[in-house]
């Protein structure tokens, strides 16, 4: 190899190449063939659609904008209610309807914090200091000291490591579920869970297995079925997360979840828990910590407790609390947290103040419990009406014990009850649902809400009125059916 | 990532390798790591090249063929949880420019490592076996195939 000077740096290397073993050269030749094959195979280009001017015009012409808001039927309940009733002032313990003060048993304001002067003062102070809006999402200039204070307060109160605030109660559970449960995971959900939790289940894209409302046997059946499945494919089971989705007090039924039984199943089948406490936070337990305190279950055993601040706390927003790593995950994966503007600071301050009032004055919880029991006792025996709900629950559903086949007919009866009760000074309302979107539409009912502010006399008086109204409407209703017959006769 | 560009894809893994400058960045990272390894005093040139090749192939194998789903992006709710990063590139289409590029680079690296290790037998065995890690899982015939059920779930 005289061409290459022996002193050149590359000399050795080139020598190595020229003396390369045959197997190596064959291997390299094969690789060259592979590269050639790659480059000569037909190239696929990710699609780029290019439209000509003509096509663009056609598309623009074809486009018809949808109406910004769909047409609302004239008999929409919201419109009818607006025509019929006009509420003036704050919706507190009493509510002024059409110029008449009524005892309010319709608003979910269990501790009577709506219209509380102390809270209002604090909120106004915050308004003067921070202005109204919070400027942006929490991760994007929207975090104020009051948000952090409220998170700390909630975590401390709930005795968990950390809490996270959402700016709207509905999205709290609807974001928390999809943050953890993904495609391929399994949610064991109670059929009675509220609409927000249902939407969370849908948004998670997980497999949802519904068990009958508060039916532990059915739940265990489903878990056993799942266990058999898991044994067939243990590798897959290892990466499948399983969750219970339950509520403390079910908003749609007013009963309490059997938490101890659920904890047992949780331990036995290794499932995590999403616990929705919107109705039980600030209601159950000696200090208002919710259903865990009520049953004496350690909150550390429940992975995630989610609650809205819109009921007992009479504010806006919601929170989720648990261990540090569970909560921190949501700060990047909770859609409602990441992508919506944080609570207005004054609202956070109002919630903080409400928490403070509740903590300093736990007597109001005792009072609330007494009031709930009193209402339950009083309302028990109306003929033709079934009372749903636990005696400790401030949400009570009054259903017709003989529902008609037609849902609308029952609703009409209940609306008559509502109208009569309001005219006699007690504001009540039927429970409203999005009929076509609920997983399992509950039977029509009047949803009573009990406040700790009500005195015994007020409760007795309003219970008497409600009972009397139900009696007169139900006895009149049979007559009403007859009346229908009458009008038919009149037509003939 | 498509920095400064709004994309409406809930899974950016589909298009991340088509972003501007990402091929150059990839080559630069290999080159700089190689320089770094070369600068270690007791490594000969041959060892440095083999080490570059081995590290590159093993790391890329972990990045492209072991990691599944969308570890840093959650909005797809686990849609791609059964697919490796390689299978997600360009929506799983074969013979795209990105895929050709990503297949060619380890082969060229192997040529270089062979050349600088003077076609030594030990180096050849090492380099060729890690090259297999980089080439075999990329073959179109093995799209979505999990040999012996490894890494299936």
What is the C-alpha to C-alpha distance for residues A389 and A399, in angstroms, rounded to an integer? 11
CA distance B119 to chain A (A): 6
Biggest CA–CA distance in chain B, Å, is 50
Q: Tell me whether residues A235 and B149 touch, CB distance under 8 A.
A: yes
Residue B6: predicted pLDDT: 65
Across the interface, which of A17, A43, A44 has its CB nearest the CB of B119? A17
Q: Tell me whether residues A46 and B15 touch, CB distance under 8 A.
A: yes
SS3 A386: strand
- DSSP letter at A297? -
Q: Tell me whether residues A46 and B90 touch, CB distance under 8 A.
A: yes
Work out the percent of chain A whose per-residue pLDDT is above 70.
Answer: 94
Q: Do domains A77-104+366-486 and A117-360 have the same CATH topology?
A: no
Q: Tell me whether residues B118 and A16 touch, CB distance under 8 A.
A: yes
Could you tell me whether strands A445-449 and A429-430 are parallel, antiparallel, or unpaired per DSSP bridges?
antiparallel
- Work out the average pLDDT over A160-171: 94
A314 close to A109: Cβ distance less than 8 angstroms: yes
Q: What are phi and psi of A445, to 5 degrees?
A: -155, 160
A188 close to A266: Cβ distance less than 8 angstroms: no
Closest CA to A103 of A465, A462, A480: A462
Bridge partners (DSSP) of residue A247 are A276
What is the C-alpha to C-alpha distance for residues B46 and A272, in angstroms, rounded to an integer? 54
The mean pLDDT value of chain A amounts to: 90
pLDDT(B23) > 70: yes
Burial A178-194 (b: 16+ CB within 10 A, else e): bbbbbbbbbbbbbbbbb
For A68-161, list the strands marked E by DSSP: 87-88, 94-97, 100-104
pLDDT(A324) > 50: yes
Residue A81: predicted pLDDT: 78
Question: Does the domain at residues A117-360 carry the CATH identifier 3.40.640.10?
Answer: yes
A184 close to A334: Cβ distance less than 8 angstroms: no
pLDDT digits over A36-88, tens only?
998 888 776 656 778 889 999 999 999 998 888 888 888 787 788 788 888 88
- Tell me the angle at which helices B121-135 and B45-61 cross, rounded to the nearest 10 degrees: 20
Q: Tell me whether residues A46 and B18 touch, CB distance under 8 A.
A: yes
What is the C-alpha to C-alpha distance for residues B130 and B125, in angstroms, rounded to an integer? 9
Residue A353: predicted pLDDT: 95
Could you tell me whether strands A395-400 and A445-449 are parallel, antiparallel, or unpaired per DSSP bridges?
antiparallel
Residue in chain A lying closest to B151 (CA): A235
Q: Tell me whether residues B121 and A35 touch, CB distance under 8 A.
A: no
pLDDT digits over A299-315, tens only?
999 999 999 999 999 99
Across the interface, which of A19, A28, A236 has its CB nearest the CB of B114? A28
Tell me which of B44, B53, B79, B115 to substitute to probe the interface with A (most A C-beta atoms closer than 10 Å).
B115
Q: Tell me whether residues A179 and B18 touch, CB distance under 8 A.
A: no
The mean pLDDT value of chain B amounts to: 90
pLDDT digits over A430-480, tens only?
999 988 899 999 999 999 999 999 999 999 999 999 999 999 998 876 544
Q: Which residue has the higher pLDDT, B39 or A492?
A: B39
Across the interface, which of A24, A41, A236 has its CB nearest the CB of B119? A24
Q: Tell me whether residues B77 and A46 touch, CB distance under 8 A.
A: no
The least confident of A25-34, A102-111, A207-216, B75-84 is B75-84
Enumerate the residues of chain B whose CB falls inside 8 A of the CB of residue A28: 111, 114
Q: Tell me whether residues B107 and A35 touch, CB distance under 8 A.
A: yes
Residue B3: predicted pLDDT: 55
pLDDT digits over B61-118, tens only?
999 999 998 887 777 888 888 899 999 998 888 888 899 999 999 999 999 999 999 9
What DSSP string runs through A121-174?
HHHHHHHHHH-S---SBTTTT---HHHHHHHHHHHHHHTSSEEEEESSHHHHHH
B67 close to B49: Cβ distance less than 8 angstroms: no
Specify the CATH number of the domain A77-104+366-486: 3.90.1150.10
Could you tell me whether strands A318-322 and A426-427 are parallel, antiparallel, or unpaired per DSSP bridges?
unpaired
SS3 A10: coil
Residue pairs spanning A and B at CB distance below 8 A: 84
Residue in chain A lying closest to B150 (CA): A235
Residue A486: predicted pLDDT: 39
Across the interface, which of B75, B78, B90 has its CB nearest the CB of A183? B78
Q: What are phi and psi of A169, to 5 degrees?
A: -60, -40
Residue A481: predicted pLDDT: 45
Tally: H helices and E strands in chain B: 5, 0
Give Cα A471 to chain centroid, integer Å. Answer: 35
What is the C-alpha to C-alpha distance for residues B58 and B105, in angstroms, rounded to an integer? 14
Confidence of residue A484 (pLDDT cuts 50, 70, 90): very low
Q: What are phi and psi of A434, to 5 degrees?
A: -85, 95
A44 close to B94: Cβ distance less than 8 angstroms: yes
Closest CA to A411 of A388, A389, A435: A435
Closest CA to B129 of B64, B62, B53: B53
- Work out the average pLDDT over A327-349: 92
| In chain A, where the domains are located | 77-104+366-486, 117-360
Sign of torsion over alpha carbons B123, B129, B133, B135: positive
Tell me which of A15, A43, A177, A182 to substitute to probe the interface with B (most B C-beta atoms closer than 10 Å).
A182
Q: Tell me whether residues B77 and A238 touch, CB distance under 8 A.
A: no
pLDDT(A395) > 90: yes
Bridge partners (DSSP) of residue A436 are none
Enumerate the residues of chain A whose CB falls inside 8 A of the CB of residue B103: 34-35, 38
């Amino acid at each position: 190899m005289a061409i290459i000077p022996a002193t050149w740096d590359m000399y050795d290397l080139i020598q190595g190449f020229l003396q390369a073993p045959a197997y190596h050269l064959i291997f390299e030749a094969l690789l060259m063939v592979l590269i050639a094959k790659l480059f000569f195979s037909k190239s696929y280009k990710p699609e780029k659609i290019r439209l000509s001017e003509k096509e663009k015009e056609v598309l623009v012409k074809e486009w018809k904008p949808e109406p910004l808001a769909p047409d609302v039927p004239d008999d929409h309940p919201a419109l009818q209610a607006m025509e019929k009733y006009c509420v003036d002032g704050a919706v507190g313990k009493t509510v002024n309807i059409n110029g008449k003060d009524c005892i309010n048993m319709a608003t979910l304001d269990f501790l009577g914090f709506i219209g509380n002067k102390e809270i209002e003062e604090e909120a106004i102070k915050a308004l003067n200091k921070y202005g109204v809006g919070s400027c942006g999402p929490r991760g994007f200039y929207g975090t104020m000291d009051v948000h952090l204070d409220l998170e700390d307060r909630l975590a401390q109160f709930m005795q968990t490591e950390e809490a996270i605030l959402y700016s709207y109660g509905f999205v709290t559970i609807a974001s928390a579920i999809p943050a953890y449960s993904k495609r391929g995971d399994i949610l064991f959900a109670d059929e009675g869970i509220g609409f927000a939790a249902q939407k969370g289940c849908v948004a998670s894209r997980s497999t949802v297995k519904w068990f009958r409302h508060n039916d532990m046997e059915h739940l265990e059946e489903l878990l056993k079925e799942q266990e058999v499945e898991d044994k067939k494919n243990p590798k897959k089971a290892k990466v499948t997360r399983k969750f219970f989705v339950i509520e403390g007090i079910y908003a749609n039924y007013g009963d309490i979840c059997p938490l101890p039984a659920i904890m047992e199943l949780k331990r036995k089948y290794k499932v995590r828990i999403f616990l929705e406490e919107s109705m039980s936070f600030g209601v159950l337990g000696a200090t208002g910590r919710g259903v865990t305190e009520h049953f004496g279950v350690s909150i550390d055993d429940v992975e995630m407790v989610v609650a809205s601040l819109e009921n007992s706390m009479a504010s806006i927003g919601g929170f989720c609390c648990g261990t540090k790593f569970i909560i921190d995950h949501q700060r990047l994966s909770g859609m409602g947290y990441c992508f919506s503007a944080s609570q207005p600071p004054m609202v956070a301050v109002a919630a903080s103040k409400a928490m403070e009032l509740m903590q300093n004055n736990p007597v109001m919880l005792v009072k609330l419990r007494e009031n709930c029991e009193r209402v339950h006792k009083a309302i028990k025996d109306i003929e033709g009406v079934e009372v749903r709900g636990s005696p400790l629950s401030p949400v009570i559903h009054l259903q017709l014990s003989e529902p008609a086949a037609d849902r609308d007919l029952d609703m009409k009866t209940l609306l008559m009850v509502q109208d009569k009760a309001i005219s006699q000074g007690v504001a009540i309302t039927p429970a409203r649902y999005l009929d076509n979107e609920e997983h399992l539409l509950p039977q029509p009912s009047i949803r009573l809400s009990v406040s700790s502010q009500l005195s015994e006399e007020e409760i007795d008086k309003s219970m008497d009125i409600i009972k009397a109204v139900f009696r007169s409407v139900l006895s009149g209703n049979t007559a009403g059916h007859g009346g229908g017959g009458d009008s038919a006769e009149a037509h003939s | 990532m498509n920095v400064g560009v709004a994309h409406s894809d809930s899974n950016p893994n589909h298009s991340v390798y088509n972003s501007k400058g990402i091929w150059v960045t990839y080559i630069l990272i290999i080159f700089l790591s190689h320089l770094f390894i070369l600068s270690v005093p007791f490594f000969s040139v041959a060892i440095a090249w083999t080490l570059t090749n081995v590290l590159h192939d093993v790391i890329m194998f972990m990045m492209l063929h072991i990691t599944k789903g969308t570890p840093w992006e959650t909005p797809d709710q686990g849609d791609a949880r059964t697919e490796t990063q390689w299978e997600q590139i360009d929506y799983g289409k074969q013979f795209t420019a990105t895929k050709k590029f990503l297949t060619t680079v380890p082969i060229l690296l192997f040529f270089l490592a062979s050349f600088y290790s003077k076609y030594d037998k030990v180096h050849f065995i090492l380099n060729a076996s890690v090259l297999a890690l980089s080439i075999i899982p990329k073959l179109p015939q093995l799209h979505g195939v999990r040999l012996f059920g490894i890494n299936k779930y």
